[in-house]
Amino acid sequence: MTANEREMKSVVRAGVLSVAIPVMAFALAFASANLLWLDYVHVLLGAIWTGVDVFLGLIFAFVIRTLDPVTRKNVALRILPMTLFFIPAASFLTPAAGYILAVNEGIFSFSSPVIDSILIVGILLFCMGFATIVPYSWLILKEMSKETVSSKKVSECLAMISHGALAQMFLQVAIISLMAYMVVYP
């Protein structure tokens, strides 16, 4: 087994774990019909996802520019489980848990302008992740599996991931603000 193959297996292993834990927590909360547990899954998963986007969008963009090509390649490999596996899982599970909670609490209604706004921003958020973060993560994975890795291509992909995460972060803050509005002004 080559070094590239070992690295790719490591990425996939970490990625599967970063998906399995939130999926199991969501599934157990849903199966148990425990709304408090589902609320924890929704809030904690959303907070972690937002934290990842804050890191990638605000901090990572400035740090990655200063790294040499070898370090940049290593960082890209270590960040792939988060961008390729965790973020897509969080983008499904967080709103799914939120929807179930909203329905169970009787606050989900298409006639509510706040709910409609959350849905619109949520769709934009979902599309942003699947238009930038996921495809550019796949491009990095594809590039890393090559015998000779282009540092320039990896850097460009990391920059696009960072831009996508920054956009997601602003959309997540908008959704969090709308949800807080619903709680304070029912």
Please name which of 103, 123, 137 lies closest in space to residue 171, comparing C-alpha atoms.
123
Across 59-93, b (16+ Cβ under 10 Å) vs e yields: ebbeebeebeeeebbebbbebbbbbbbbbbbbbeb
The Cα–Cα gap between 166 and 52 comes to 10
What's the whole-model pTM score? 0.88
Q: Are 129 and 139 in contact (CB under 8 A)?
A: no
DSSP string spanning the chain?
A: --HHHHHHHHHHHHHHHHHHHHHHHHHHHHHHT-HHHHHHHHHHHHHHHHHHHHIIIIIIHHHHTTS-HHHHHHHHHHHHIIIIIIHHHHHHHHHHHHHHHHHHTT---TT-HHHHHHHHHHHHHHHHIIIIIHHHHHHHHHHHTSSS--HHHHHHHHHHHHHHHHHHHHHHHHHHHHHHHHHH--
pLDDT at 68 (0 to 100) = 87
pLDDT at 1 (0 to 100) = 67
pLDDT digit string (tens) for the chain, length 186 residues: 677 778 888 888 999 999 999 999 999 999 999 999 999 999 999 999 999 999 999 888 888 888 888 888 888 888 988 999 999 999 999 999 999 999 999 889 889 999 999 999 999 998 988 999 999 999 998 988 888 888 889 888 999 999 999 999 999 999 999 999 988 887
Q: Which two tokens stand for residue 172?
A: 């997540």
